[in-house]
Chain A
Amino acid sequence: MRKTIIIAGAAGEGINTVELYVEKLLKQEGYEIYAYKNYMSRVRGGYNYSTITIGQERVYSTESHADIFIALNAEAVENASAQIKADGTLIALSGLKSKHDFEGKIIWVDEEELKNITKNKNSFGMVAVGMIIKWFGGEESILEKINNKKWSDSINSANKACAKWGYEQMESVHMPARADEERIILNGNQAVALGALSAGLGFYCAYPMAPSTGIMNYLAAQEKKMNIVVEQAEDEIAAAMSAIGSASNGVRSMTGTSGGGFALMVESIGFAAVSEVPIVICNVQRPGPATGLPTRTEQADLAFVVTASQGEFARIVMAPRTVSDAYYSTFRAFNLAEKYQVPVIILSDQLLADSVQSIDRVDTSSLKIQRHLKEDFDPKYKRYDFENISGNRKYPGLDSQTLIMTDSHVHDEYGKVTESEEMTIALKNKFLNRIEAIKKELSAPEFYGSENYDTLFLSWGSTYGALREAVDELNSRGNEVAMISFTDVFPIRENVLEPFIRPDVRVINVEGNAMNQFGKILRMETGVKFSHSINRYDGRPFTSAFIAEAYEVIKND
């Protein structure tokens, strides 16, 4: 069983605070959480909402309709009927009664009585927190955890009083929690940041850009605890080049941005590749081109990032599928970057970045930082040895004698500029060999669904969650469908689809873009064609209902 709560209102009305307490308190009670923020690109006003799906079993994707809809203002009350399930409940302040056209159950919270408890702005949100806790059957005592060190004692006690008052007014559905392992709750941006910190990140340099800024914010808050340096660059060119400057001197370094900023980093990627400096770049996609939709989601930068920068060279592109995957893949990105001395791009998106998921506590003991360095002095050392596809790396100061030249030209094995045909070919061949080695090392896609499938969905990145739930839903309706989903999206092995493709299987490509970018990369690299596609490109995330419905249309076509 699962229930979905939507908290809707304007920016600045306390949506995030309500969401934070609901997530944290219910997670601690043992529920599974998946929350997604739907917000406009503005600091105050507008119409924003957070959708929190709370389950007894793991939740993989967001939903569009609520069981409980908390309306924080008049506009939210007006919008409610489009976002509530038929048997759902609208909760709002009594003063907004005239605004609604919802025909289902409504709980009007008495505005005058609330004023007797507190006259604080946004206090209704805290009433809603109490109501939600009661609804799930939580003990009243857990409301004592409502405490924010940043707020005064009087505000904290008023908030608790509001929550308790709300608690008293609500009935309970009694959906007991199931999870008992130690769980943590975080979003995709935090998971990327934590993966980087686990991997030994020392320097993060970035320029603020939605929806990637959360990575920098989180890292900056940990700067002193983790002994790292987080620097806000003057532009994305500087961000990428500073990270390369630092990485070329032995510090694991990273930058993060969205598509527009990534466009400015393009020259740096080629530089990192030819100078063989390991660098990790996170592109948290938002809809483009140009300014696009700053706070919405899309998977439309893939074709760009796999070819970005002039010339031919090796790179790795990884698109984490879940919050947990964002942590482990970012960790792996640093090891791979350093092993092959290539740029590694983490292709996240606003859906992943801004979705909060309860996950198993990540297992740091299973991870090992692998630096692939050559620490001892070797008089015959060649920084750019053409025969060495991986490892053998040195940086200035690693041993007390070797001098290192890090260079952007076609160069010889010591980094000296050359225009010789022989060296030009040798350098290119090194990159080609490196690409082949990387292909062998990257992870295969994950299979999920019916073993007797007649339909196979192809997907990558954050589409995983909604598609997985759609596969479950479709199979429960008697279909025989399955999916494969990729985290490692580039480069692609020629035979990667062989275990999954059969002549009698319908192949449907599912992507959060209009042009089937990954489907076309797969076709180019493997020769496998998809016959149908399911695409979403309205800036909103896939839901399982959206995919299931689209599948039924294809099936009945």
Chain B
Amino acid sequence: MIDKIDALKTVDNPFVTNNPTSWCPGCGNFSILETLNKTLFDVGLKPQDVLLVSGIGQAAKLPHYIHAHGLNTLHGRALPSALGAHVANVDLKIILNSGDGDTYGEGGNHLLHNIRRNIDIVHIVHNNQVYGLTKGQGSPTTPLGQVTRLQFDGMRSEAISPLALAISLGCGFVARSFSGDSEHLEEMIKAAMNHKGYALIDVMQPCVSFNKINTYKWYKDRAFKLPEDYDPKDKIKAFEMAQMFGDEGIPMGILYKEDKSDFMSRIPHITKPLVSYDRKPDDIEKLLDALI
């Protein structure tokens, strides 16, 4: 019975498209797409309320597979595009999907500074610890020494710890989830959508074609949910949890949460969506008076 209701919901879900995807069969991206579709519908949004922003990569194809507004930009550049979109129209709910290379590599500088800005977006990182679209090179989250299709003798750089990075930058919502646990992922996305400010969810997402080490099983065997008494406001503890990744276990959940003013609330003279201001050439007359 429950199955039937869920099926009905899916049929009626206006976010769902029949567009064919170009992801490999078994890709971890599918469950992120399905979960996002379901969550957007569950929280009562309409496709017209949502802008899906992305850069380039396998994860970045996602806006083409959801029925909503889309802004599919350049590799690494989803965040600055999202900043502009958000400034233009605060009424749009912005969901950004990007891969680990797109976010932590090419777009690293933008990540730092948009977390500082605290723009009000949900940022879902499809982190498969490898480059998929370019076929198997190491990414910023591939561990030191791990062999890839390019790094034959193993990675020569250490992996970054994206969640520790986000916490250190003052990100107000830092979470980890797993594409193999859509119930948990849905919970995280909903919590992120309720957070006012930058909400980062790093999602462990197996690449079935190019990462033979960090597989479904590898993640499943290591992932654990944060205990119920975990306090996400404890920054020191969160920093410790954020750096735990690998055989010692991988914590899932909201690692850190802090409520703070978001970017647009720091620009109080803008009181409605910027796009809705009426502007005329003679608006500058008073500025011209000052030049006499």
Contact = CB atoms under 8 A, between A and B. Distances in A.
B247 interface: no
Interface in B237-292: 267, 269-270, 273-275, 277, 279-288, 291-292
A288 interface: no
B64 interface: yes
A248 B275 CA distance: 11
A416 B286 CA distance: 46
Given A234-B110, A238-B110, A271-B74, A245 B81 contact: yes
Interface in B104-123: 109-110, 112-113
A241 B47 contact: no
B50 to A, nearest CB: 9
From A184, A186, A234, A409, residue with most partner B Cβ within 10 Å: A234
B112 A200 contact: no
Interface stretch (B84-92, B135-143, B215-223): B84-92
A409 B48 CA distance: 23
Interface stretch (A106-114, A399-407, A475-483): A399-407
A305 B286 CA distance: 34
A198 B281 CA distance: 4
B71 A397 contact: no
Nearest to A186: B291
A271 B286 CA distance: 36
Interface stretch (A131-139, A295-303, A361-369, A438-446): A361-369
B74 A227 contact: no
Contact of A235 (B109, B280, B285): B109
From B67, B286, B292, residue with most partner A Cβ within 10 Å: B292
A470 to B, nearest CB: 29
A188 interface: no
Interface in A214-242: 222-229, 231, 233-235, 237-239, 241-242
B63 A194 contact: no
Contacts of A182: 292
A234 B48 CA distance: 30
Chain A, interface residues (CB within 8 Å), range: 35 or more
Contacts, number: 198
B240 to A, nearest CB: 29
Given A227-B269, A396-B51, A397-B275, A222 B19 contact: no
Contact of A400 (B48, B270, B282): B48
A251 B74 contact: no
B72 A245 contact: no
A4 interface: no
Interface in A385-432: 395-397, 400-401, 403-409, 415-417
Contact of B92 (A183, A223, A247, A249): A249
B27 interface: no
A243 interface: yes
A202 interface: yes
A401 B48 contact: yes
Given A233-B80, A234-B110, A245 B277 contact: no
Contacts of B64: 405, 407, 416-417
Contacts of B287: 194, 197, 222, 225-226
Given A184-B291, A225-B286, A368-B281, A409 B113 contact: no
Contact of B275 (A28, A250, A403): A250
Contacts of A235: 109
A364 B85 contact: no
A416 B284 contact: no
Given A244-B84, A407-B72, A397 B92 contact: yes
A251 B282 contact: no
A406 B269 contact: no
A6 interface: no
Contact of A364 (B67, B91, B281): B281
A16 B286 CA distance: 24
Contact of A242 (B81, B270, B291): B81
A352 B267 CA distance: 32
B73 A241 contact: yes
A229 B274 contact: yes
B284 A364 contact: yes
A186 B288 CA distance: 9
A241 B279 contact: no
A245 B110 contact: no
A381 to B, nearest CB: 14
A415 B48 contact: no
B278 to A, nearest CB: 9
Contacts of B81: 241-242, 244-245, 248
B84 A203 contact: yes
Contacts of B77: 237-238, 241, 267-268, 271
Interface string B65-80: 0011111111001011
A415 B274 CA distance: 25
A509 interface: no
Given A202-B277, A397-B92, A405-B64, A248 B85 contact: yes
Contacts of B80: 233, 237-239, 241-242, 245
A182 B291 CA distance: 11
A408 B282 contact: no
Nearest to B77: A241
B203 interface: no
B85 A246 contact: yes
A404 B72 CA distance: 11
A182 B277 CA distance: 30
Given A405-B70, A408-B72, A408-B73, A247 B89 contact: no
Nearest to A406: B71
Interface string A265-286: 0011001000100000000000
B83 interface: yes
Contacts of A507: none
B56 interface: yes
Interface string A151-190: 0000000000000000000000000000000111110001
A203 B277 CA distance: 12
Contacts of B291: 184-186, 190
Interface of B: 19, 47-48, 51, 53, 56, 61, 63-64, 67-74, 77, 79-89, 91-92, 109-110, 112-113, 267, 269-270, 273-275, 277, 279-288, 291-292
Interface of A: 28, 182-186, 190, 194, 197-203, 205, 222-229, 231, 233-235, 237-239, 241-253, 267-268, 271, 275, 331, 361-362, 364-365, 367-369, 395-397, 400-401, 403-409, 415-417
9 contacts: A186-B291, A233-B80, A245-B53, A245-B88, A250-B88, A251-B87, A267-B77, A364-B282, A397-B275
4 nearest CB pairs, A to B: A245-B84, A246-B84, A200-B279, A249-B88
Given A225-B287, A228-B274, A408-B72, 7 more contacts: A185-B291, A203-B274, A237-B110, A271-B73, A395-B275, A396-B92, A408-B74
